[in-house]
Structure 1
Amino acid sequence: MKFFDLDQWDEILQTITRNKSRSLLTAFGIFWGIFMLVFLMGGSEGLRRLMASNFAGFAQNSCFLMTNTTSEAYAGLQSGREWSLELADVDRLRHGVGAIETVTPLCAKWGASFKNGNYAMNGTLKGVRADYAAIEDPHLTYGRFLTDTDERDFRKVCVLGKRVCEELFPDVDNPCGRFVSLDGIYYQVVGVTKMSSKIGVMGSAESSVLVPFTTMQRLYNWGNDVMAIGYTARRGYTVTELQPQVDHIIKKAHLISPTDTQALFSFNMEVMFRMVDNLFRGIEILVWLIGIGTLLSGAIGVSNIMMVTVRERTSEIGIRRAIGARPSNILTQIMAESIVLTIIAGLFGIAFAVLLLQGVETLTAASGHDASFQISFGMAVGAAAALTLLGGLAGLAPSFRALAIKPIDAIRDE
């Protein structure tokens, strides 16, 4: 079959449209199969990105330590004891665990009041050091992050979260250099983050304001107590590998039983990322199974209909053979009809899935979430190639059935 032979293309289309209802019902199986595959793949990838955006900025190889009441009596101390992490623990971990790359303290005040003139909101006020950026990248839109000098000089400077900036400075593009009231104390804005993650340690990043750790400790008179300690592992190590050693050092320093699993809580970002990755890997496998299964059922439908078509065209095929048509011509003709029917139905399925995914993405963006629900170009090309292959496979059995027809049998059948 010549690709640009218009007569043969016209014959293929006439054969397909000869029985419109049957062709439409057959094509629907392929349409639905490829639609399900593409839509579910694009949807699962969009959900993966949406979930990943909730952890945006966090170092995957990081962990946060927080305290809880003890659950076991130890060293003459009763269970149910309240205790706190302290600044000395930061030095203990820095010098006691060589595989730790960054270790930094955190403190926070929930429900803090933020004001700028007539604009006000409540959020989380966090005290952090400059090296906190190694654990949670602030992705600055304007200005700079906190520095060691800010902490050393107890400066009243702050970095605003994305939502805080929008609420307090709705008509200002760059608020850096301006002053805001944080719990009644004025701070100068030195930076604005663009992080939109909904998950964060001691409060989401977009609804938080970051100030120097020492400034917050002094203003709230918290002494040497810290609410959490964050750390990252050096290249070649994981925080999961370091966790037993970290727990041992902290528990030993605070007279906590080594077997007490409740007293020290670890928020392991490595585990969280792995859980999300495994979840969506499982979803992806399920999507492929559903999509391929539906596609195969559609291909079987195409093959069955083509078998019926071949049976109806027995005399036509016999006459072709009688007047000198080569077996390759018959084979190509039947397979081309199967491939064309499959590709047309499949392309409509891909287009419909892409349009629906675009609608989902628009609705998601309108609700304030940033995620792409579109399939990649490679996935679209792969789907088109799969359709061509599927159409060819669906046409194999009918094609060989057509080749088995002998001219004399076809005339006798007529």
Structure 2
Amino acid sequence: MSIPSLFTDLFRNLNQQRLRSFLTIFGIMWGTATLILLLAFGVGFRDQTVLNMRGMGDQLAIMFPGQTTQAFEGYGVGRPIRFREADAWMLKQQIPAIDIVLPEYMQNLQISFGEKRRNSSVGGVYPEYQGVRNMYEQPGGRWLNEDDIEDQRRVIFLGNRLAQNLFEENEDPIGKKVFMQDTPFTVIGVLAEKIQNSSYSQQDQDRAFIPASTFSTMMGTDIVNNIIYTPEDPALAESIRTQVYEVMGRKHRFDPSDTDAIGLWDTNEFWSFIDIMFLGINGFLGLIGFFTLAVGGIGVANIMFVVVQERMKEIGIRRSVGARRHHIMGQFFLETFLIIGLGAGAGYVIGWLLVQATQNIPIKEFVGAPYFSPEVGLIAFGVLGFVGFAAGMLPAWRASRLDIVECLRR
């Protein structure tokens, strides 16, 4: 049978049983739309979580000073560990797998402009901090540079919400002087708005940043609050962590196995967890969508069994004039896939429209917006192919195995 004849027969049969045909196609259409929407929500949730985490920085580890919980080389328990700026440079020198390592000074100080005052976590940092923590400036401003460090300049970079709290709505902060305690600082930049769902002191939008050399000189200390680093290869994160405890243990005289002596938050562990977590979430959502689509597939299979019964005489005639079993089987297989294709096509359109309609959900900042990615389309196509094969296999096999004489008696 030619392809045009196949289409003609299919649409004639669908037209003869309009309600039955509609319900069958609707089941596939609704199952496809549901599968696409669920998978799109899973992808959107994953992307939003990654975006939120990137506000903190990409694949970085933060070291915090702690206190010993084990006696070591004559030193007792409960001895506080303090980081000095030189410790950061020592780690870079002794652990080649570390890409960037930076000390960070930090203190809660009052910043004022005119009559407006805000308490803010002020960080004394180096220029490389920008790339490690994704600190990008709004147009017209700049980040700290090497000259600021070398000359110990009194310049300050403001978080965007801190700037909003200190200045009027249409006032440009760049070039203005603010006071940190009683010391004037020139504003050189304002943070570009970014999504951030985690922090180890205060949200970056509420913080301020000055050159590390300026901070150290003003406060008269080289003791830093924490040290941050990034690995050259995320796969080496665990090995680097072990080496960090060994190097710092030798320097500060504590047992490398005493993990309470140094607190270490390695965000690389989070990225590994993210991959596993969303594999499970998307798998679960896909399974729900698959079962919804499978119900529609069962409806198609039932309809095809009825069609085989109704067309037994046609099957008998075709077999008697030379059609082979695989011809009959192929015909009903194609008809099954055509029915599923009609429902799937409509389902893809409806699914895409639902995805577009839910782009501005109120909780988008937390769960993200559904995203119709190529990944979603391919998974849906694969599931539809499986459902179509399962729904068409038994009816087509039964049609090809009917007895010719029995069919002609109908």
Task: Report if TM-score (shorter chain) is over 0.5.
Answer: yes
> Superposition pairs for residues 6-405 of structure 1, below 5 Å?
9=7, 11-56=9-54, 60-110=58-108, 123-142=120-139, 143-165=141-163, 167-168=165-166, 171-172=169-170, 175-182=173-180, 185-194=183-192, 195-219=194-218, 221=219, 223-234=221-232, 238-315=236-313, 317-318=315-316, 334-363=332-361, 368=365, 371=368, 373-377=370-374, 379-380=376-377, 383-384=380-381, 387=384, 390-391=387-388, 394-405=391-402
**2:60–2:267: 8 Å Cα contact kept in structure 1?**
yes
- Give the CA deviation at 1:394: 2.8
Provide the C-alpha distance between the structure 1 equivalents of 2:280 and 2:329, rounded to a whole number of angstroms: 41
Q: Distance in 2 between matches of 1:2 and 1:246?
A: 72
- Cα distance between partner residues in 1 of 2:351 and 2:119: 42
CA contact (8 A) 1:338 1:394 kept: yes
The structure-2 alpha-carbon separation of the partners of 1:249 and 1:329, relative to structure 1 and needing over 3 Å to count, comes to closer
Deviation at 1:16, TM superposition (A): 2.4
CA contact (8 A) 2:156 2:208 kept: yes
Is the 2:33–2:348 Cα contact (8 Å) retained in structure 1? yes
| Aligned-partner Cα distance in 2 for 1:119–1:188 | 16
Q: In the TM superposition, what is the alpha-carbon distance from 1:65 to its structure 2 partner? A: 0.8
Q: Structure 1 403/69 Cα, relative in aligned 2: closer, same or farther at 3 Å?
A: same
Q: Which one is further off, 123-132 or 384-393?
A: 384-393
* Structure 1 residues 167 and 329, CA gap change in structure 2 (3 angstroms): farther
- In structure 1, list runs of 5 or more residues that go unmatched: none
Cα deviation for residue 175 of structure 1 reads: 4.1
Distance in 1, matches of 2:96 and 2:329, equals 70
Contact 2:361/2:369 (CA < 8 Å) preserved in 1?
no
Following TM superposition, by how much is the alpha carbon of 1:21 offset from its aligned partner in structure 2, in angstroms? 4.3
| TM-aligned CA distance change 1:165 to 1:33, over 3 Å | farther
Specify the code of the residue in structure 1 equivalent to 2:95.
Answer: V
| Partner AA of 1:202 in structure 2 | S
Letter paired with 1:355: L
Percent of aligned pairs with the same amino acid: 27
Which amino acid counterpart does residue 203 of structure 2 have in structure 1? S
Q: SS state of the match for residue 68, structure 2?
A: coil
In 2, are the aligned partners of 1:57 and 1:139 still within 8 Å (CA)?
no
1:55–1:200: 8 Å Cα contact kept in structure 2? no
Output the CA distance in 1 between the equivalents of 2:376 and 2:268: 29
For 1:409, which of 402, 406, 410 is the aligned residue? 406
The 2-side partners of 1:119 and 1:352 are apart by 53
Shift of 1:218: 3.7
How far apart are the structure 1 equivalents of 2:277 and 2:269? 12
- Does the 8 Å CA contact 1:161/1:206 hold for their aligned counterparts? yes
DSSP 3-state at the match of 1:230? strand
| Worse-superposed segment, 176-185 or 343-352 | 176-185
**SS where residue 374 of structure 1 aligns?**
coil
**Secondary structure in structure 2 of the residue aligned to 1:140:** coil
Q: Give the root-mean-square deviation of aligned CA atoms.
A: 3.6
Change (3 A) 1:67 1:344: same
Amino acid at match of 1:209: A
Q: Secondary structure at the match of 1:363?
A: coil
Give the whole-Å Cα distance in 2 for the aligned partners of 1:360 and 1:175.
Answer: 37
**1:37 shift after superposition:** 2.8
Per-residue deviation, 1:255: 2.8
* Paired residue secondary structure (2:202): coil
Q: What secondary structure does 2:359 align onto? A: helix
Q: Deviations over 1:96-148 (max 9, x none)?
A: 333333221112235x5555567766553222111223422323333322112
Residues 408/260 of structure 1: CA separation in 2 closer, same or farther (3 Å cut): closer
Deviations 1:266-308, CA, capped at 9 Å, x for gaps: 1112222112122223333444444445444532331222111
2:260 counterpart SS class: coil
Which shows bigger deviation, 293-302 or 87-96? 293-302
Aligned in 2, Cα 1:358/1:120: closer, same or farther, shift over 3 Å? farther
> Structure 1 123/27 Cα, relative in aligned 2: closer, same or farther at 3 Å?
farther
| 8 Å contact kept, 2:152–2:213 | yes
Q: Are 1:354 and 1:374, in contact at CA under 8 Å, matched by a contact in 2?
A: no
| TM-score, normalised by the number of residues in structure 1 | 0.82
Once the two structures are overlaid, the 10-residue window that deviates more, 9-18 or 100-109, is 9-18
Q: What is the TM-score of this pair, normalised by structure 2?
A: 0.83
Q: Distance in 2 between matches of 1:11 and 1:173?
A: 73
- 3-state SS, counterpart of residue 86 of structure 2: helix
Q: What is the CA–CA distance in structure 1 between the aligned matches of 2:235 and 2:274, rounded to whole Å?
A: 20
Taking a change above 3 Å as real, the CA distance of residues 67 and 165 of structure 1, as seen in their structure-2 partners, is: same
SS of alignment partner, residue 341 of structure 2? helix
Q: How far off its partner does 1:382 sit?
A: 6.1
Quickly say closer, same or farther: Cα 1:34–1:370, change in 2 above 3 A.
Answer: closer
Instruction: Say if 1:235 and 1:323 are closer, same or farther in 2 by CA, change over 3 A.
Output: closer
Q: 1:193 to 1:372 in 2, by over 3 A?
A: farther
| Pair 1:12–1:235, CA change in 2 (3 A) | closer
CA distance in structure 1 between the aligned counterparts of 2:278 and 2:75, rounded to whole angstroms: 45
